């Protein structure tokens, strides 16, 4: 468990309290993504450059914000997700059986050199994942980091 408020001195707060990702769900996502035979969706990422930040938008409807595992590793942004739908078709159901399967999303996005990955935010709203990557004034030493989706 890590306290997010420890990174921001004074009265500035990014996330109230502490955040603890679910290690069991994350491990399951990673193992499922590497199994053969699963259909992995690689959605299109739209990249916008603004004055102070870069915005990455990915349309991935049918997920919850807790389904996403987003990481930075140097100048690469990795977006992985799995939705929790896994239902069996009943005899009264009129839908095809493949509508009730899990969906996996995996996308690696190269980042520009002016991105500081220490200050990245993400939000999931109305089926669109938006990741805000703020520009730095000098080249950043980007390390591996996890991004929380709000």
What domains appear along the chain, each with residue ranges and CATH number?
39-147 (2.60.40.790)
CA distance 47 to 36: 30
CB 29 within 8 A of CB 105: no
CA distance 116 to 113: 8
CA distance 99 to 80: 20
CA distance 109 to 90: 40
Reply yes or no on whether the pLDDT at 124 is more than 50: yes
Q: Calculate the average pLDDT of the chain.
A: 74
Average pLDDT for 120-125:
93
Reply yes or no on whether the pLDDT at 87 is more than 50: no
| pLDDT value at residue 150 | 87
Question: What confidence tens digit (pLDDT) does each residue in 30-55 have?
Answer: 666 566 556 788 999 999 999 999 99
Q: How confident is the model at residue 113 (pLDDT cuts 50, 70, 90)?
A: confident
Higher pLDDT, 72 or 27: 72
Average pLDDT for 58-74:
90
CA distance 41 to 91: 29
Q: Which helix (H) or strand (E) holds 32?
A: helix 23-34
Nearest to 77 by CA among 68, 86, 85: 68
| pLDDT value at residue 127 | 93
| pLDDT value at residue 82 | 84
pTM beyond 0.85: the answer is no
Reply yes or no on whether the pLDDT at 144 is more than 70: yes
Reply yes or no on whether the pLDDT at 24 is more than 70: no
How many distinct helices (H) and strands (E) make up the chain? 1, 11
């Amino acid at each position: 468990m890590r306290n997010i408020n420890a990174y921001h001195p004074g009265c500035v707060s990014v996330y109230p309290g502490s955040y603890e990702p679910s290690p069991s769900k994350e491990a399951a996502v990673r193992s499922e993504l590497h199994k053969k035979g699963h259909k992995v969706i690689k959605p299109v990422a739209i990249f916008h450059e603004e004055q102070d930040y870069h915005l990455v938008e990915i349309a991935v409807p049918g997920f919850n914000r807790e389904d996403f595992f987003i990481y930075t590793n140097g100048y690469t942004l990795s977006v992985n997700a799995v939705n929790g739908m896994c239902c069996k078709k009943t005899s009264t159901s009129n839908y095809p059986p493949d509508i009730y399967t899990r969906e996996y999303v995996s996308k690696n996005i190269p980042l520009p050199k002016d991105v500081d990955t220490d200050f990245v935010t993400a939000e999931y709203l109305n089926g669109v994942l938006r990741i805000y990557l703020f520009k730095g004034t000098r080249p950043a030493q980007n390390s591996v980091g996890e991004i929380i989706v709000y």
